[in-house]
Chain A
Amino acid sequence: MFSKGVADASNFVKGVDTSFMIIFGIISFFLIGITATMIYFVFRYRKSKHPKAEQIHGNVVLEIVWTLIPTALVMVMFYFGWMGYKPMKEVPDDAFVIKSIARMWHWQFQYENGKVTDTLYVPKDRDVKLDLVALDVIHSLYIPAFRLKQDIVPGKDQFMWFKAGREGDFDLFCTEYCGLSHSSMATSVVVMDSDKFDKWYVDTTVVASIITDKPGALGLRIVQMNGCLACHSLDGSKIVGPTWKGLFGSEETVLTNGVERKVVVDSAYVMNSIYNPNDDVVKGFKKGLMLSYKNELKEEDIKEIIEFMKTLK
């Protein structure tokens, strides 16, 4: 029924698919059976074939039978549904914890050793727990291949857990409508062999090598990790917020408390726009869409971002 080769993608696939198949079997039986009966009656008892209808007012025994049988069947369906669901909320104590942060329209994953990614890397055959946080509106983390989904309500921390059983890349979507780029708020889950994962996990040279790279590279890394590019383009096109191309050093018209004024985009302006985004909104853009990054970005980070902005001529 589901796409091939994922029966062991996570430890929940079996429970979900079993309940699905049992229910699917029962409902198919009813749909086909009732439809066939209807069609048979229409042919057998059409006017030309059966000119005089027999008046039958009802039958108490039949009514009881077709009340009790479906009631029993739906209880069976409920049971399998519940059994498949229960383990999803019973997290093993020693699960490997990854903090998952959702914001419009970007996923970020923080590992306990400080590693930060925008793709979810997980080890195979190990219990993984995701601590889920949403910063702005409701999002929902959905991994179809794992049969897992959890809404993430801002202010209410949630969790989900799983044990991946197969190496590979799997889609990860946002399934709670969250605005303009809802459908692009997607990334992937990369399941790695335990050894490979451990190697990847302890390797922090990826970030280090970037620092020695060209100017602004670390800034770009920070920008990518924090989802800035969901709203700010680098090529001059208008998305949700102003593009960063040629932004630094330019003169812009902004609205401050409803009053238009001109500002030069300098370090102080960028810093304030990241910490207090609604103070000076560039004319032509909407207020209230960007949240403060006070808790996410340190001043050093913003300095790196500014170095990166300077390269965007």
Chain B
Amino acid sequence: MTETMKQAPTPSFLEYQGRFKGIFAWIFSTDHKRIGLLYLYSMLVFFSIAATLGLMMKLELIAPGRTIMGAQTYNSFFTLHGITMIFLIVVPGLPAVFGNFFLPIMIGAKDVAFPKLNLFSWWIYIAGAFIALSSQFLGDGAPDTGWTFYAPYSFRTGTNMLPAVTGAFVLGFSSIVTGLNFIVTIHRLRAPGMKWMKMPLFPWALYGTAWIQVLATPIVGITLLMVVLERTLQIGFFDPSLGGDPILYQHLFWIYSHPAVYIMILPAMGVISEIIPTFARKTIFGYTAIVVSTLAIAFVGYFVWGHHMFTSGMSGVALYTFSILTFLVAIPSAIKIFNWVATLHKASIDLQTPFLWAFCFLFVFMIGGLSGMVLGALSANVHLHDTAFVVAHFHYIVFGGTGFAFFGALHYWFPKMFGRMYDKSWANIGLAIFFTGFNTLYLPMFYLGITGMPRRYYDYVERFHGPNIVSSMGAMLMITGLIIVITNLVRSARHGAKAEKDPWKGKTLEWTVDSPPSLENFEEIPIVTQDPYDYE
């Protein structure tokens, strides 16, 4: 850092004037914090679209038969809902927004290792998103295959598949580049004194996630490329009428898409590991156990993809191997839950909004994880596979787990990101409505699945009517809560009261810098001597 910069009061990264003005100061910025916010704003837009689609699907299902849309529309809605939520929001979500913003600050660095590559990854993300969304408007109608693009239906449908698949392919690169950037950043840019076992748990979670992103994403890239080649050149990888094997497609798809679940959930666990000690005023219980379980999940998570295919007709050996491994991957998650709860023991708990989000996370994530135990058992899986039970299960994990953690992170780091505080009572009211709506929406779907309602059903027999009404009501309530939560945050980003440096009395490095941070985060690179959650 030069002498001149030291003298002037450093402007925050939000005010800093670089080479470009207006919107270009953002979309061409290589500052990790601005890139994090670019991702946040893009995701807010995509999330609004996908959540609206989800709400319309629930409204359609409030009664059997046609309610507000036709079957073709419904089928393309759940396809777009899935593609957007998975590829544009939940997979990149926490790493791209909060990882970009806070990873460098939490390990005492001025930026990620490759800032230009970081900006490039946002551009790839936007390009992929536009290609994927263009499928809705170009060609022969919106894709209707579901987000899994299962062969051979994805070759038989007359709809506009190629842009959707190409978009997902392009988005994969954004994920790989971000992962690579984080790995190098964590290896090379930790502040002096920050040994591996002194690193906060959110960076640890990002580290585990980044390895999955780098190693697993290329598989789905190749697979989607094979789909494109098959559709254009009629090669015959997956389509039985060309001599291909549809089950091969399922294997390749889930070899990525199961580890992808851990790309979604590991950073969420990292966020919870930050929030709980801060509001418990207490060091985290079992730091080492949490680190080891993070790496164990990242590793074992590669070997359980077959549990998505228990009814596809795999061999007996494959079935029980995948079933056992599926049960084993639950253990590290259980260990984390026990450690978080143990952290609350003899703590001094400050019941602020971020803590309440984390608390609700624990509850819904447990329901998600524990319902996964039912699906991991072969005999129960035969009955419940591809029913509403599975839909409820993965929404409890992906929306309940990652979604609650995302909003928890947003409420936790909001004062640092924008330098302002939100209205706490509105935030809590929003959370209460959202939480109630969430459970009213998804709990009945467990019951529907148990009584036999298949998923991806536009229409259903009369005996499924009651629980569907409850579920649709829950959807409306949940969206109401969501609107309150988001409106409160958007308003407060401009009009909220000014926030202090350390409003929550946190101990990790991001609470030692200004709110909002200056362009280079630290005047001087800090020297770390303490454990990350040292409340002695």
Contacts and interface: CB of A to CB of B under 8 A. Distances in A.
B20 interface: no
B500 interface: no
Q: Which of A3, A83, A138 has the most CB of B within 10 A?
A: A138
Contacts of A78: 320, 323-324, 327, 376-377
B378 A81 contact: yes
B347 A45 contact: yes
Given A47-B349, A85-B319, A156-B313, A56 B327 contact: no
B484 interface: no
Interface stretch (B34-42, B85-93, B202-210, B282-290): B282-290
B32 to A, nearest CB: 32
B392 to A, nearest CB: 14
Interface in B319-357: 319-320, 323-324, 327-328, 330-331, 334-335, 337-339, 341-342, 344-351
Nearest to A186: B461
Contacts of A47: 281, 348-351
Interface stretch (B115-123, B219-227, B379-387): B379-387
Interface string B122-156: 00000000000000000010001110001011001
Contacts of B152: 136-138, 154
B240 A171 contact: no
A67 B292 CA distance: 12
A55 B536 contact: yes
Contacts of A286: 140, 158
A15 B247 contact: no
B347 A27 contact: no
Nearest to A28: B370
A173 interface: yes
B12 interface: no
Interface string A11-35: 0100110011001101100110011
Given A47-B350, A78-B327, A20 B380 contact: yes
A149 B311 contact: yes
A288 to B, nearest CB: 6
Nearest to B456: A177
Interface in B442-461: 450-452, 454-461
A136 B351 CA distance: 57
Given A53-B281, A89-B316, A171 B156 contact: no
Interface string B267-284: 000000000000011110
Contacts of B455: 175, 177
B75 interface: yes
A287 B247 CA distance: 25
Interface string A282-302: 000011110000000000000
Interface stretch (B95-103, B171-179, B359-367, B515-523): B359-367
A57 B376 CA distance: 33
B497 to A, nearest CB: 21
B246 interface: yes
Interface in B254-313: 280-283, 285-289, 311-313
B530 interface: no
Interface in A37-56: 37-38, 41-42, 45-47, 50-56
Contacts of B463: 3
A175 B387 contact: yes
Given A31-B366, A173-B452, A77 B153 contact: no
B75 A53 contact: no
A38 B347 CA distance: 12
A158 B382 CA distance: 15
Given A140-B386, A179-B144, A70 B330 contact: yes
A147 B245 CA distance: 27
A52 B348 contact: yes
Contacts of B331: 67, 70-71, 74
A306 interface: no
B493 interface: no
Q: Which of B157, B158, B380 has the most CB of A within 10 A?
A: B380
A34 B377 contact: no
28 contacts: A2-B450, A16-B380, A20-B379, A23-B374, A27-B374, A31-B367, A38-B363, A42-B359, A45-B344, A46-B349, A52-B348, A55-B535, A77-B377, A78-B320, A80-B377, A80-B379, A83-B379, A140-B311, A145-B452, A149-B311, A149-B383, A149-B385, A158-B313, A171-B461, A177-B75, A177-B153, A184-B459, A289-B158
Interface of A: 1-3, 12, 15-16, 19-20, 23-24, 26-27, 30-31, 34-35, 37-38, 41-42, 45-47, 50-59, 62-63, 66-67, 70-71, 74-75, 77-78, 80-85, 88-89, 136-138, 140, 142, 144-145, 147-151, 153-156, 158, 171, 173-184, 186, 286-289
Given A2-B451, A154-B246, A177-B455, 5 more contacts: A78-B320, A154-B241, A179-B75, A183-B454, A286-B140
Interface of B: 71-72, 75, 140, 144-146, 150, 152-153, 156-158, 240-241, 245-247, 280-283, 285-289, 311-313, 316, 319-320, 323-324, 327-328, 330-331, 334-335, 337-339, 341-342, 344-351, 359, 362-363, 366-367, 370-371, 373-374, 376-383, 385-387, 450-452, 454-461, 463, 535-536
